A = this chain, B = another copy of it.
Amino acid sequence: MSADKSLSDLLNSYNQGYSLEQGFYKNPDIYDEEIKKIFLHHWMLAGHTSQIPNAGDFFLFEFDIESIIITRNKQGEVKAHLNVCRHRGSHVCLEKEGNTTAFTCPYHAWSYDLDGKLIAARIMEADFEKQENGLHPAQVGLVGGLIFISLSDNPPSLNAMHEDLADVYDQFGFDNMKLVKQTTYPVEANWKLAVENYQECYHCAPSHIDYAKIHALALAPKKFAPLKEAFLKETTCNVRTKSSSYYFDLAKDGDEGYQYDRNPLFKGMKSGSLGGKPVAPLLGKINEYGEAASEFSLGPVTFFLIYDDHMVGYRFLPTAHNTCVADVFWFVRADAVEGEDYNLEELTWLWHVTILDDEKIIIDNRKGVDSHFYSPGKLSGMEDMEQHFLDWYINAMT
């Protein structure tokens, strides 16, 4: 019964190798600390440049109580600003997406340009300083066309990652994709239960029949290890296999955590789809199906699974201390044509059915974690990445 414990007591009683104590999932005060220490600091996927091809295009990125306007300015740069008027705080932009030349607050008509600069504030006194009242900016970090944002004035660095993964960006054509579908799945559980679920494939065999037919990662480690060894020796596909494990607590000081890895699919499986069949044109510079999939993650809540012919993004965002959403993004190469080169239903099938399973699993997990009789349980070897997440989390909250 740890729901009453203070954050410091909970942190002190953390037992590595075990799941977290209940209080971390139930206590609204701890959630407030998470927002400050994690979500107002680290990088999160906001969307993709293909959503805002032209100057003045914009969309809103929202989580918890925050709303951020992502836009392309006149110089073609991607910009992000808090959707909070500097007068009395109203949301300035009420549309989820669109195109505009300026953001004019619907309340008192203060008007901001695409760079967040206050350009009009009617009837204000002569000594009012417009230049000090621009929209609060957020940091923008681009990974190819992927738009990441950080709400920190001093965000973790992405430089080491950019250098390390330059070949990956190039091979998969990160600069040459488009977002073709995004779906939001609400999950009635604390966001960490959703992130933990994503971190481990211990549950894949019992829970995800379809995934487990395609991904060798669903196998027990003893069976997976020789498959991976063979894959690393034999693969001829022109995609990097060398892994970069700088995720969570493995991140270097001052850097944002990230990961790259490549793992075999089962024999004959070319993509994450029904029967492992191809579902879209090969990405980037890939010249043949490698019967493998790459993983790429950046920051604490954004994860990608890159098949040879499409990329799936997963993003977990809190909406309150006991609810979150899982957003799933599907990407194909920029010049692929729907109906000709890919079929949206085929493309999105696997991860749609998989997350529907996970939604249910995570909620049932939450119900038990809520009990006075829940206590942290021993993790298996297949939950080592979740272990890294927990270690990182404890450190981030300290």
**Which residues of A come within 8 Å of B, CB atoms?**
1, 4, 19, 32, 35-36, 40, 65-67, 82-92, 94, 106-109, 121-125, 128, 133, 136, 151, 196, 202-203, 205-207, 220-221, 361, 364-365, 367-375, 377-382
The closest CB in chain B to the CB of A382 belongs to B123
Q: Is the CB of B378 within 8 A of A87?
A: yes
Contact of A67 among B106, B220, B365, B367 (CB under 8 A): B367
Q: Is the CB of A35 within 8 A of B203?
A: no
Q: Is the CB of A377 within 8 A of B123?
A: no
Q: Is the CB of B35 within 8 A of A372?
A: yes
Q: Smallest Cβ distance from A63 to chain B, in angstroms?
A: 11
Q: Is the CB of B372 within 8 A of A124?
A: no
Contact of A368 among B4, B91, B108, B375 (CB under 8 A): B91
Interfacial chain B residues near A367, Cβ < 8 Å: 65, 67, 90-91
Contact of A128 among B106, B124, B378 (CB under 8 A): B378
Interfacial chain B residues near A84, Cβ < 8 Å: 368, 371, 373-374
Contact of A106 among B40, B206, B369 (CB under 8 A): B206
Q: Tell me the bound Cα distance from A167 to B51 in angstroms.
A: 64
Q: Tell me the bound Cα distance from A67 to B136 in angstroms.
A: 44
Interfacial chain B residues near A369, Cβ < 8 Å: 88-90
Interfacial chain B residues near A368, Cβ < 8 Å: 67, 83-85, 89-92
Contact of A66 among B67, B202, B373, B382 (CB under 8 A): B373
Given contacts A32-B4, A89-B19, A89-B365, contact A65 B107 (CB under 8 A): no
The closest CB in chain B to the CB of A88 belongs to B19
Q: Is the CB of A108 within 8 A of B206?
A: yes
Besides A82-B373, A83-B368, A123-B221, 15 more A-B contacts (Cβ < 8 Å) are A35-B372, A65-B372, A86-B377, A87-B377, A89-B369, A89-B377, A90-B367, A90-B368, A91-B365, A108-B203, A109-B206, A122-B220, A128-B378, A133-B378, A151-B373
Q: Is the CB of B133 within 8 A of A377?
A: yes
Q: Is the CB of A123 within 8 A of B19?
A: no
Interfacial chain B residues near A86, Cβ < 8 Å: 375, 377
Q: Tell me the bound Cα distance from A38 to B133 in angstroms.
A: 33
Q: Is the CB of A107 within 8 A of B364?
A: yes
Q: Tell me the bound Cα distance from A364 to B94 in angstroms.
A: 8
Q: Is the CB of A123 within 8 A of B202?
A: yes
Name 6 A/B residue pairs within 8 A (Cβ), A-sorted. A40-B372, A65-B372, A66-B372, A91-B368, A124-B380, A151-B373
Q: Is the CB of A123 within 8 A of B220?
A: yes
The closest CB in chain B to the CB of A32 belongs to B4
Q: Tell me the bound Cα distance from A151 to B371 in angstroms.
A: 12
Interfacial chain B residues near A109, Cβ < 8 Å: 205-206
Q: Tell me the bound Cα distance from A202 to B91 in angstroms.
A: 17
Closest 8 CB pairs of A and B: A109-B206, A89-B368, A89-B369, A84-B368, A65-B370, A90-B365, A87-B377, A82-B373
